[in-house]
Structure 1
Amino acid sequence: MVEAVYILCGLTSLACTVLLLRGYRRTRTRLLLWSGLCFVALAVSNVILFVDLVLFPGRDLSVWRSASALVGIGTLLYGLIWDSA
């Protein structure tokens, strides 16, 4: 059951990525681009979470998970600051 939750979280992040980047391509609103790039990194983080806890439970990939989430949130923060100026 836990595996299904991890997979659904990854698929949800991927769906958000696709919808945000598709919206950016249609409207060229830069905030959609930054949000889409953030969700790319969050989807990668969810994939790493699945690999870490389900496929290879003996390995510790928490640093990689945290790094990808940090990159995603940092990208969104940069985009928010860049577009507000």
Structure 2
Amino acid sequence: MAQAIYSLCALTALLCAGLLLRAYARTRFRLLLWSGLCFVGLTANNLLLVLDRLVFRDLDLSLARLLVALGSVLLLVVGMLLEHDT
């Protein structure tokens, strides 16, 4: 059951990233770009979760997951700050 949930979370984040980046390509609204990049990172975070919990059970990838999540959210925060200035 956990495998299905982790996989669905990764697929959902990937779908969100794709939709946001596609909307950015159509409208060129830069906040969509930052949001899409954030979700790309969140997809990577979810893939690391799948690897951590299901594939490499003896290896602890929690620090890598946290760093990827932090980088993703920082991308979104920087994007919002840059868009607020313009």
Return the TM-score normalized by structure 1. Answer: 0.99
CA shift for structure 1 position 67: 0.7
Partner of 1:24: 24
CA shift for structure 1 position 68: 0.6
The AA in structure 1 aligned to 2:49 is L
Aligned mates of 1:58, 1:5 — CA distance in 2: 21
SS of corresponding position for 2:8: helix
The AA in structure 2 aligned to 1:12 is T
Once the two structures are superposed, the pairs formed by residues 1-85 of structure 1 within 5 Å of their partners are: 1-85=1-85
Return the TM-score normalized by structure 2. Answer: 0.98
What is the aligned length?
85
CA shift for structure 1 position 2: 0.5
The AA in structure 2 aligned to 1:41 is G
The AA in structure 2 aligned to 1:57 is R
Which consecutive aligned stretches of 4+ in structure 1 deviate over 4 angstroms post-superposition?
Answer: none
Segments of 5+ residues of structure 1 without an aligned counterpart are none
The AA in structure 2 aligned to 1:25 is A
% of aligned pairs identical?
A: 48
CA shift for structure 1 position 53: 0.5
Segments of 5+ residues of structure 2 without an aligned counterpart are none
